[in-house]
Amino acid sequence: MPTSDSEGKDWSLERFRYHLPNTVCDVGPGEGTYAKLFRPVHEGVWWTGIEVHRPFVTKYKLKSTKTRRMYDEIHVQDVRESPAHLFHRDCVIAGDVLEHMPREDAVALLQRIAEGPDDSTGANHILISLPIVESIQGEVDGNPHEAHLHQWDADDMDQVLDGLGGRVDSLRGDTLGVWWWTRT
């Protein structure tokens, strides 16, 4: 769904405050949960959103206007087909999105985000949030991209992120697991 469980949001906000990234790419922003939460903490951030479901852009008013800041740029596309330069950011957020694709696609996406374009550096930080309990979900409100295609387990995500190198901090909640990966 375009919303997110509140579990782990305070933990994520603490890490965001500590690192204060100047550029953020939010993959699958839905209703804009992370932009709403993080923007007041660090106003100068350039926010990029990659949203696969075009109706959400209008429904949740994701594009910034003169009177309201949400996302400075929005790309309506499947993130697996997004150009690598969109991941060349201080922080890339994959909040409640990786469960919506097959595991191998999610792993390949995380590798692309960490590696960056043309042998340059990718993201300095990656924030990941996803269900770590069984969370069966199909199409929601006519959006086939809302279906959960993989049921993650926290140990599996730990191993995937270990494979990226870097340093990982994590929180295992009752419903969600949250990870903050940092390039070292």
Lowest-pLDDT range of 3-7, 49-53, 57-61, 157-161: 3-7
- Put simply, whether the predicted model's pTM sits higher than 0.85 gets the answer yes
Give dist(CA 49, CA 76) in Å, integer: 8
Question: Judging by beta carbons within 10 Å of its beta carbon (0-12, 13-18, 19+), is residue 151 exposed, middle or buried?
Answer: middle
Per residue in 21-57, pLDDT (tens digit) is 999 999 999 999 999 999 999 988 999 999 999 998 9
Coil, helix or strand for 80? helix
Q: Domain 9-182 maps to which CATH number in 3.30.70.3280, 3.40.50.150, 3.50.50.60, 3.40.50.720?
A: 3.40.50.150
pLDDT per position as a tens digit, 57-68: 998 899 878 777
| Domain layout of the chain by residue ranges | 9-182
> How far, in Å, CA of 12 to CA of 10, rounded?
5
| Range scoring the smallest mean pLDDT among 4-8, 26-30, 102-106, 134-138 | 134-138
The reported pLDDT for the residue numbered 133 is: 86
Alpha carbon distances (Å) from 68 to 32, 39, 65: 13, 11, 5
